[in-house]
């Protein structure tokens, strides 16, 4: 089946512009995560959606960052007034998070290829 | 100090060598341990996962966890040029209800023929 799909694969923008990054998770996966990977750094957690619950936004670095998930499927990460330090690869992951599933095998995260954002 | 420390390398070895990749962590609540492999311009893919202290083997790969030392390792035997990638360790907090992953910085590995 299809994996996690992210678009665009590359985005170049000017400082101060807004950008929208899209994630299409694996069908049927209830959990969706956004991470940021800066050059030479590990993945940094940004936000998490689980079903219809309120998202966990604890990782968002500033109020310029926001995300939504429509219909429990596709998610959009929006960065307003982009800054040069926002340049990074933005990765989306989805997970089955099956009901009552507290074992790791049911909660494996599957990643998309990412959106490489460059802010000039 | 980051919760998960990983030497970024780069590490360069000849084909056939045994590779050892390591991470240390500070949070004793970490219970689940994973290794992801990331090829250039691709997303990370899960290589191995384990819950407990000890060794877990899968083909040429062995994951080792020492909870008393807060130290995990990934060994690659008979390394191949196709193993050239960045290897990321990742962990989940025992008490986490959201399964958020805590990642190391990744170690860049090159296996030359």
CA–CA gap between residue B11 and residue B84 (Å, rounded):
10
* Distance from the A2 Cα atom to the nearest Cα atom in chain B, whole angstroms: 14
pLDDT, one tens digit per residue, over A53-96 is 888 888 999 999 999 998 878 999 999 999 999 999 999 999 88
When pLDDT is averaged across residues B44-53 and rounded to a whole number, the result is 88
pLDDT, one tens digit per residue, over A44-55 is 999 999 888 888
Two structure tokens written together for B106: 């990744």
Whether the per-residue pLDDT at B76 is higher than 80: the answer is: yes
| A1 or A85, greater pLDDT | A85
- Which residues of chain A neighbour B90 with C-beta distances below 8 Å? 43
CA–CA gap between residue B103 and residue B35 (Å, rounded):
9
Q: Please judge whether B45 and A33 are an interchain contact, meaning their C-beta atoms are less than 8 angstroms apart.
A: no
Q: Please judge whether A104 and B92 are an interchain contact, meaning their C-beta atoms are less than 8 angstroms apart.
A: yes
- Which residues of chain B neighbour A31 with C-beta distances below 8 Å? 98-99
pLDDT score recorded for residue B54: 85
Mutate to test the interface with A, among B31, B51, B95, B98 (most CBs of A within 10 A): B98
CA–CA gap between residue B60 and residue B52 (Å, rounded):
20
Whether the per-residue pLDDT at A102 is higher than 70: the answer is: no
A25 lies within 8 A of chain B by CB: no
Mutate to test the interface with B, among A48, A105, A109 (most CBs of B within 10 A): A109
In the block, which residue shows the tokens 């899960």? B46
For B64, the 3-state DSSP assignment is strand
Nearest residue of A to residue B108, measured between CA atoms: A40
Question: If you average pLDDT over each of A28-32, A38-42, A69-73, A97-101, which comes out highest?
Answer: A28-32
A114 lies within 8 A of chain B by CB: yes
Q: What is the mean pLDDT of chain B?
A: 91
When pLDDT is averaged across residues A100-117 and rounded to a whole number, the result is 79
pLDDT score recorded for residue B45: 94
């Amino acid at each position: 089946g299809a994996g996690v799909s992210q678009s665009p694969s590359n985005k170049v923008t000017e400082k101060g512009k807004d950008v929208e990054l899209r994630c299409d998770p694996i069908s049927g996966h209830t959990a969706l995560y956004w991470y940021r990977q800066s050059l030479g750094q590990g993945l940094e957690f940004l936000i998490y959606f689980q079903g219809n619950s309120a998202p966990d936004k604890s990782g968002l670095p500033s109020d310029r960052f926001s995300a939504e998930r429509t219909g429990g499927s596709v998610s959009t990460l929006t960065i307003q007034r982009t800054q040069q330090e926002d340049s990074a690869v933005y990765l989306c992951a989805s997970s089955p998070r099956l009901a009552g599933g507290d074992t790791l095998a049911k909660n494996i995260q599957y990643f998309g290829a990412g959106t490489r954002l460059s802010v000039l | 100090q980051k919760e998960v420390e990983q030497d970024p390398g780069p590490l360069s070895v000849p084909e056939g060598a045994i590779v050892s990749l390591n991470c240390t962590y500070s949070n004793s609540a970490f219970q689940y341990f994973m290794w992801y492999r990331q090829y250039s311009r691709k997303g990370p893919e899960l290589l191995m996962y384990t819950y407990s202290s000890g060794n877990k083997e899968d083909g040429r790969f062995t994951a080792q966890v020492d909870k008393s030392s807060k130290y995990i390792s990934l060994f690659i035997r008979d390394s191949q040029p196709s193993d050239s990638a960045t290897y990321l360790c990742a962990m989940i907090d025992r008490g986490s209800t959201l399964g958020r992953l805590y990642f190391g910085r990744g170690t860049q590995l090159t296996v030359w023929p």
